[in-house]
Structure 1
Amino acid sequence: MKRLLPLFLLVLLFGGCEGRSSFLSPQGPIAAAQSQHFWYVVTVMMVVCLPVFIGVPWIILRYRYKHGRGDYSPRWHFSKPLEILVWGVPVLVVIALGIKLAHATMTLDPYKPLAGDAVEIQVIGYDWKWLFIYPEQGIATVGDLVFPADRPVSFRITSDTVMQSFFIPALGSQIYAMKGMETRLNLAATGVGEFLGENSQYSGDGFATQSFAVHAVSEEDFATWAESGKADGMPFDRTALEALQAQSTRSELLDTLGVSGESVVFTDAPPDLFTSVATDPSRMGAMQ
């Protein structure tokens, strides 16, 4: 039973990563490529690990004290086949992993645009919530990230506070958000669905609550949602901005704004807000 415990724990580990919140169950082309890369690395590493897992118990059993059946060779000091095996296999593994890593580094560059007409979304990290600005639609949201499925999404990301990490596991590729800097990320969802988004970089007391719902919807539903938000959303005024700048969780922000539910849509988001945050490290979100 004890021998089966590590295998049982491994099954639990990977079982817990399944679902629509992990690259192990990819919901987009980037996550699918990352999943393939992961399993390739695991397979290659098993070339080294499996012989060790099998050989160590076999050697202990065969050459154990008194009851071992192995030949006693006190003057043995060299075996050419064994040396080739011990050194040759790791060298081949390193070469295989190096080639694969170099290829993946170029093809999965988060700054590399995906083919198609991309939707631009500007992302600003606050304590402890994310603001998503849609410059083409003229709206902004907190709590919900909505975009068309089967269409590339180009994220421009920054932080108005400490360093954070923008991450949608089911779609792949986390990337850091840093104050006074802009990072980029290109993702897409293959089909409609709902996923989890989060900050995977510890950033203070409210870190555990800094998640958001990701909705990949049809083009028609996206257009309808954007028009509805523009017509019925809350004005993005100084009160809203000061509430965003405050150290508060998303639920505390919504309570401050008097909004019920899990998210809020703002109208008339300042077109220069993202640029001013991303280019001025001394700025704390002042809006003219």
Structure 2
Amino acid sequence: MTPDRILPTCLLFFAVGAPAAAQEQGFLWAAGPVAEAQRAHFVSILWWMAVVTVPLLIGLPLILWRYRLNGGGGRYRRDWGASPLAEVAIWSVPVVVVGFLAWNLWHATLSLDPYRPLGPDPLEVQAIAAEGHFLFLYPDEGIVTVDRLLLDADRTARLKLTSVDVLRSVMVPRLAGQIYAMPGMTTELNLAAFAPGTYAGLNTQYSGPLFPEERFETEALPETNWHARIEATRDGAGPLPPDVLQRIAMGDGAEAYLAADADLFARIAAPSSHGAHR
């Protein structure tokens, strides 16, 4: 483990517990350029905050020891009122830290814009968040997958999202940050993977009784394998039924379909459709 990962890893371990840390599913174990930039931003904040916290953690016990009630070596000066040098030191360091943190946040906000393309010719995917499930539509490939996002590891991806009924917060922690999926609206998330692998995706916004089940797997495959997987899915899938949302809500859906309805995403994302699919 490199030095820039030791401190955040320890903090994450104590914050969410050993089981979560052992799964290595957070952005600290970045598997894509967006998550890697998030980790670098997080680590830089920790180091700058250490400029304030470390002297405090060291200085407080030293002062308590030096000026303790019995036997302290510090001299009590009842006529002492102020020190210009101490005032400069006390206020200048926090001002510099806060100023840098503000600039760092502004820079990271712009560079980590989820709508910002990560490369030319991205894979286009449309995501529909429904109660307990996610549908992923691939307009150019003509297929739909349920609870499984198939990515080409050699290509960036642009994910357009909407929700059937309520607000959801979608993220693939090891690849990209969080983005809201909202009924009657379309949001966008650009992501990419450094290498082939399987990464967990989930909804982090409570959305109802089936909230714990609103998870999906993101598979990043080598280009050749990805094309083969798409062809195999296309050959084995049946046509997309008109009531697909109702079927998967009842647990009666398939894992993949042929995208016979090219306007499904547009209809659900249209403002006038809000509430029509409850």
TM-score, with normalisation over the residues of structure 2? Answer: 0.90
- Structure 2 counterpart of 1:12, one-letter code: F
* Cα RMSD after superposing both structures: 1.9
* 2:237 maps to which of 233, 237, 246: 233
Partner of 1:40: 44
Pair 1:59–1:35, CA change in 2 (3 A): same
Offset at residue 283 of structure 1 (A): 3.7
Q: Quick check: 181-190 or 18-27, which moved more?
A: 18-27
Partner of 2:257: 266
Offset at residue 278 of structure 1 (A): 1.1
* Contact 1:179 1:281 (C-alpha < 8 Å) held by counterparts: no
* 2:190 maps to which of 175, 186, 189: 186
Q: Percent identity over the alignment?
A: 38
Pair 1:69–1:11, CA change in 2 (3 A): farther
Offset at residue 19 of structure 1 (A): 5.1
Which contiguous aligned blocks of 4+ residues in structure 1 show a shift greater than 3 angstroms?
8-11, 14-20, 281-286
* Inter-partner Cα distance in structure 2 for 1:10 and 1:153: 31
- Structure 1 counterpart of 2:231, one-letter code: E
Deviation per residue, 1:81-107 (Å, 9 max, x gap): 211111000010011112211111111
- Structure 2 counterpart of 1:224, one-letter code: A
**Tell me, which stretches of 5 or more residues in structure 2 are unaligned?**
1-8
1:278 and 2:269 equivalent?
Answer: yes
**SS of alignment partner, residue 227 of structure 1:** helix
Partner of 2:123: 119
TM-score, with normalisation over the residues of structure 1? Answer: 0.87
Partner of 1:73: 77
* Inter-partner Cα distance in structure 1 for 2:129 and 2:164: 6
1:196 and 2:187 equivalent?
Answer: no
**SS of alignment partner, residue 24 of structure 1:** helix
- Structure 2 counterpart of 1:226, one-letter code: I
The aligned length equals: 266
* 1:209 maps to which of 204, 213, 229: 213
- Structure 2 counterpart of 1:205, one-letter code: P
Deviation per residue, 1:196-232 (Å, 9 max, x gap): 0100111111111211111000111111111111111
Partner of 1:105: 109
Partner of 2:135: 131
Offset at residue 138 of structure 1 (A): 0.7
* Contact 2:162 2:182 (C-alpha < 8 Å) held by counterparts: yes
Offset at residue 234 of structure 1 (A): 2.9
